[in-house]
């Protein structure tokens, strides 16, 4: 199967998950992580409160979804100044971060 990009999904749990702190992280994602070269799709959102089936992983407050056109675009994003700024400024608020990268077909 032909590769059709790289999916980069990040799930953030906050030390203090107040609505204010959650919305602050969502805004920071939009400001610092959107519109990078090679991005096919960007979205960020919050946990859906009423989807609580046994299979739902609910151990996050904010979810980031970025699809890159290539591994090279993903790798450039990882060292981009806005991405590094985001990590430096937001990392103290994170209780846990889980990253799922996948080749898309």
1: pLDDT strictly greater than 90: no
Calculate mean pLDDT across residues 60-88: 98
The pTM of the full predicted model, rounded to 2 decimals, is 0.94
**CATH number for 67:** 3.30.70.100
Does 54 map to a domain? no
Q: Above pLDDT 70, what percent of the chain?
A: 100
Which residue reads 């608020």 in tokens?
A: 93
Does 90 map to a domain? yes
Q: What is the pLDDT of residue 3?
A: 83
Does 79 map to a domain? yes
Does 3 map to a domain? no
92: pLDDT strictly greater than 90: yes
Task: Specify the number of domains making up the chain.
Answer: 1
Render pLDDT for 19-59 as a digit per residue (tens, 0 to 9): 999 999 999 999 999 999 999 999 999 999 999 999 999 99
The range of the structural domain enclosing residue 71 comes to 9-47+60-103
Q: How many CA atoms lie within 13 A of 32 on its CB side?
A: 20
């Amino acid at each position: 199967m032909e590769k059709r990009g790289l999916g980069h999904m990040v799930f953030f749990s906050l030390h203090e998950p107040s609505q204010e702190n959650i919305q602050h992280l969502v805004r920071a994602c939009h400001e610092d992580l959107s519109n990078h070269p090679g991005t096919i799709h960007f979205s960020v959102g919050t946990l859906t409160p009423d989807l609580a089936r046994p299979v739902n992983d609910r151990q996050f407050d904010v979810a980031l979804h970025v699809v890159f056109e290539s591994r090279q675009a993903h790798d450039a994003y990882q060292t981009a100044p806005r991405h590094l700024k985001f990590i430096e400024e937001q990392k103290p608020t994170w209780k846990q971060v889980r990253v799922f990268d996948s080749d898309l077909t």
